[in-house]
Amino acid sequence: MLWPLTVVAAATAVVAIVALIGGFNDVPVERLPLVEMGETHEGSEILTTVTSVYLTTVNPATGTPAEAGEQFLAVNATLENTSTRPNLWQRDTIRVVVDGAIEPEKQADSNVEVPGNRGISFLQAGLPTDLVYLWRIKTADATPGDDVIVGIFDRFRVTNDPVFDDTAYTSPTPVARIVTTIGAQP
Amino acid sequence: MTRAEPARPVKHSRALRRLGTTAAVIALLAVGATIVGTAPTDDEVIAPFENVGTIGETVEGRETRVLVTGIRTTTSLTASYAFTALDATTEGTWVIVDTVITPRVNSVGLSNSELRIGEYLFRATDIQPSPSLLLFPFGPDLPVTGSVIFEIPDFALESADARNATVVYQSRTVSTLDDVPTVRLDLTTAESFDTVELEAALVEDHG
């Protein structure tokens, strides 16, 4: 009855080989690079400068008040499309995490240009544009001084995608973060 | 009896044949590379046909006839909207292309119109009160006066290419194999205003 020994020996050999080539090593967790508030992050298509994160009960672009029991978390940012063509991607450039109030996968409820109160559907080439991103949250869910992480996202060109050959870009990919508190000044 | 030595000229002719074959292969490769290098790209193959005209000239496309009557620049735009209490004033560098558009087949919206300055391509801004030339509710053969407006960076307006800009009037992002009116503009001749109040597009009164 040598076969059980053979199986154990083969399995041990496989495990040993996997271990030898590093299969059980810890996968390094790469932390996203930090940028400061007011510092410009250079993405593949867009320069992003976050200038403030704050709570307000009045939509800073339209002047309309929040619903009763709600407020806005607002992120002001200046974006510049560095290509030579219009860019339709500004909505996904910024997301936030506020513990218990805004999950990282939640896209902004709106983003509009300020001043001018214009909903913006694209970034014109070479034109720095001031935008405010707004998330509607409950009044009790966040107060000034709470921790907030502002994520800056990018997308990258995809060529010859093996699954969908018409895929042109990756999904929004976080590339940098700002760790700050709500209401902090740059 | 002795075996005859191969004649030297045969060796020469083999060598010449090899040389000829090599040269032919190199020439064919060069021709192939030239053909590949100069062939139109996929985008060029399906590019729209641009019917080009100038200011004051009626230019026809499949969907529309276009007449540019003037160009203006300003650093401040104001718009009043009929259905909201909000007025919008916005600062920037704006190029306003005053245009008469006549749909030919059906009502059409020219929301994907472009201003090209050198290698830069700028998209028309939807800031005008409704009805505008970008969202065009009128039918065939009704000429409508309005403007197509572009916000552009200062460097584009100040560049040498501003003398040879073009506006492409199109309803789709990609007007594949369609013919589209295109108007050449010298932006340095544009009339400059401190502020411009935008108005809704109007059906032309021909009396």
Distance between CA atoms of B59 and B54, rounded to whole angstroms? 8
The pLDDT of residue B57 is 97
Question: Does A105 reside within a domain?
Answer: yes
Distance, in angstroms, between A85 CA and closest chain B CA? Answer: 5
Total residue length of chain B? 207
β-bridge partners, B182: B52, B168
Together in a domain, B14 and B110 = no
Tens digit of each residue's pLDDT (9 = 90 or more) over B5-27: 655 666 778 888 999 999 999 99
Taking only the tens place, the pLDDT of each residue in B136-170 is 767 888 899 999 999 999 999 999 999 999 999 99
Asked if A116 lies within 8 A of B89 by C-beta distance, the reply is: yes
**DSSP letter assigned to residue B92:** E
**Residues ≥6 apart with Cβ < 8 Å to A131:** A76, A77, A78, A79, A90, A111, A112, A113, A114, A120
- Which residue of chain B has the CA closest to A113? B90
Flag whether pLDDT at B207 surpasses 50. no
Task: For residue B166, give how far its alpha carbon lies from the nearest alpha carbon of chain A (Å).
Answer: 15
Set of chain A residues whose Cβ sits within 8 Å of the Cβ of B156: 126
Does B15 lie in the same domain as B56? Answer: no
CATH of the domain at B125: 2.60.40.1240
Within-domain flag for A3: no
Average pLDDT for B58-70: 94
- Same domain, yes or no, for B75 and B140? yes
DSSP alpha helices (H): ranges in chain B? 8-38, 42-45, 154-158
Kindly report the length of chain A: 186
**A84 and chain B in contact, CB less than 8 A:** yes
Three-state DSSP class for B36?
helix
Range of the domain at B133: 45-203
Contacts of A121 in chain B (CB under 8 A): 126
Instruction: Go through A63-95 and write b for each residue having 16 or more CB atoms within 10 A of its CB, e for each that does not.
Output: eeebeeeebbbbbbbebbbeeebbbebbebbbb
Statement: residue A4 has pLDDT above 70: yes
* Nearest chain B Cα distance for residue A122, angstroms: 9
- Asked if A122 and B123 come within 8 Å (Cβ–Cβ), the reply is yes
Our count of domains for chain B comes to 2
B95 with B23, same domain? no
Residue B1 located in a structural domain: no
Q: Which residue of A has its CA nearest to B119?
A: A84
pLDDT at B205: 64
A101, A53 contact by CB (below 8 A): no
Work out the average pLDDT over B73-94. Answer: 78
B3 is a domain residue: no
Q: Quick one: B143 and B159 in the same domain?
A: yes
User: What is the predicted pLDDT for the residue at B131?
Assistant: 83
Domain count for chain A, please give it. 1
**Residue in the block written with tokens 């203006």:** B72
Does B29 fall in a domain?
yes
| C-alpha–C-alpha distance, residues B112 and B170, integer Å | 6
**Residue numbers of the domain that contains A88:** 40-181
For the ranges A75-79, A149-153, B43-47, B61-65, the lowest mean pLDDT is seen at: B43-47
Can you give the CATH number for the domain in which A103 is found? Answer: 2.60.40
pTM for the structure as a whole = 0.79
